A and B are shown apart, each in its own frame.
Chain A
Amino acid sequence: MQDEESLVRRAKQRDQEAFAQLYEGYFDKIYRYVALRIGDRMEAEDITQQVFLNAIKAISSFRWRGIPFSAWLFRIAHNQVVDYLRRKAKRPAIPLDESLVASDHDPQLIAGQKLDIERLHSATGKLTPAQREVISLRFAGELSIAQVASIMGKSEGAVKALQHSAIVALRKTLSVA
């Protein structure tokens, strides 16, 4: 990806190619983040799409004020997830399944990942909301501590503490040796 600031500047001017590059750079990460947060394949797909459609609508309002573009985009995703979770109680969710994994992967790897995904989704459900958000942003979204801190409005030290406590809690739940 080109220099992100320059891409964002061009995207704000409705440069389609620049926006498309940003889209390609973040699509998988946003999808992983959403999928891990909500545990529903169809909804994760719809929400991921909606995140980028909302980004098209809102890009003109984005300003470089020390907040990275990734933080802005994940904030949109976070809001979409929160909106979805508020409504979730009204209808049953489709559980995470093997279709979360790309169909062109090695079957044995898929089998291994399937188990891990299910366990991870279940395990993150036992974390506090803040711990769950840190794990989702750090591991699914692949964001740095600084970026997570920016999205969550917390200090880097607080995010590191949440990350530590979340991993300790996950270790107990997942029983990883």
Chain B
Amino acid sequence: MKNSELENILDECLERLVKGETVEQCLQRYPEQAAQLEPLLQTAQAVRKASAILPRSEFKARARYEFRSALQATATRRRLPLFSLRPRWAMALMIIGIVLVAGGGTAAAASNSMPDSPLYPVKLATEQVRLTLTPSDMGKARLCTALADRRVAEIIYMANRGDAEQVDAIAQCLDERLTMLVMLVSAEKVEVPAVEGAPRALTEEPALAPPPAPALPPAPSEEAQGDGDVYAGGNGRAELRMIVAGCACEHPAALRAALGKAPESAKPALRRAIYLSVAGYERALAALD
């Protein structure tokens, strides 16, 4: 008998086993192949039984809750129209307008704001404008690194406040920035995406004045690397790699350190943020190599 014939019969029997037939019933259908089939079907049954593991019920409940929360957060973010659907130049003009009306101090104050601050959308929009106006891919990539540093500080801040939903949302923003970094250094053309999500920040007043951002290991200086294109040449790539390598060590380490202090409710989201940061920086370093 041809191998392919046996393979077809084996597969048909496997499907029948799934539907509830016994090994013996399958063998009766193929008496000529029974001797070859029997050990294979017995093995397949053992494999199927061993594979039938179930997730822990407490994990399943927690995962379901977090999935629902993430769905809810996505829906909320989509309902927030601020800047997200506007052309980037229109958005740049809007930010310039904000600065002119409210004074440069607003944008400066916003640069240190945290996601529970009313100024946080201004911070995100300002970042978006900086990305848009940065001319070279290498300059954009360096700015992405600096913005990733901000996101990590924000994740730690929101984790300390026990806000798992915001930790998840900002971790997604971190992931997007690192993905953008990878694409930029891979010399792919990237359209600067819409402003990162700012769930809740528009409408809710912070209960307390935000404490200072958590201390992180020395971060890449935005002033030195953000708007300027100082390192756009070949050395720029090597320098960027050094910065990214530093962040690849420091950011996950800072997030892991925060895990020890964060409330239980924020820990699963913080673990996902750690996972995303580790994976994101590994991709970035691989792209830079």
Contact = CB atoms under 8 A, between A and B. Distances in A.
Interface stretch (B149-157, B239-247, B270-278): B270-278
A177 B39 contact: yes
Contact of B40 (A57, A171, A177): A171
Contacts of A113: 49-50, 52-53
B221 interface: no
Contacts of B186: none
A132 B71 CA distance: 33
Given A16-B75, A160-B7, A160-B11, A27 B60 contact: yes
B68 interface: yes
A102 interface: yes
A83 B279 contact: yes
Nearest to B55: A31
Contact of A176 (B8, B39, B272, B278): B39
B43 A167 contact: yes
Contact of A27 (B15, B55, B75, B275): B55
B89 interface: no
Nearest to B10: A164
Contact of B71 (A20, A140, A145, A170): A20
Given A19-B71, A87-B282, A161-B3, A49 B10 contact: no
A62 to B, nearest CB: 15
A171 B3 CA distance: 17
Interface string A110-133: 000100110110000000000000
A171 B43 contact: yes
Given A99-B56, A103-B56, A135 B68 contact: no
A163 B11 contact: yes
A56 B55 contact: no
B203 interface: no
Contact of A119 (B15, B42, B50, B282): B50
B4 interface: yes
Interface of A is mostly: helix
B275 A117 contact: no
Given A160-B8, A176-B46, A35 B53 contact: yes
A101 B54 contact: yes
A65 interface: no
A163 B279 CA distance: 31
B281 to A, nearest CB: 11
A163 B72 contact: no
B272 A117 contact: no
A159 to B, nearest CB: 9
B47 interface: yes
A116 B45 CA distance: 11
B53 A32 contact: yes
Q: Identify which of B18, B51, B56 gathers the most chain A CB atoms within 10 Å of its CB.
A: B51
- Top 10 closest pairs, chain A to chain B, by CB: A116-B50, A102-B54, A160-B7, A120-B50, A171-B43, A139-B51, A140-B51, A164-B7, A176-B43, A31-B55
Interface of A: 14, 16, 19-20, 23, 27-28, 31-32, 35-36, 45-46, 48-50, 52-53, 56-57, 83, 86-87, 99-105, 113, 116-117, 119-120, 135, 138-140, 142, 144-145, 157, 160-161, 163-164, 167-168, 170-171, 174, 176-177
8 contacts: A19-B71, A20-B68, A46-B271, A49-B66, A53-B272, A102-B54, A139-B48, A171-B40
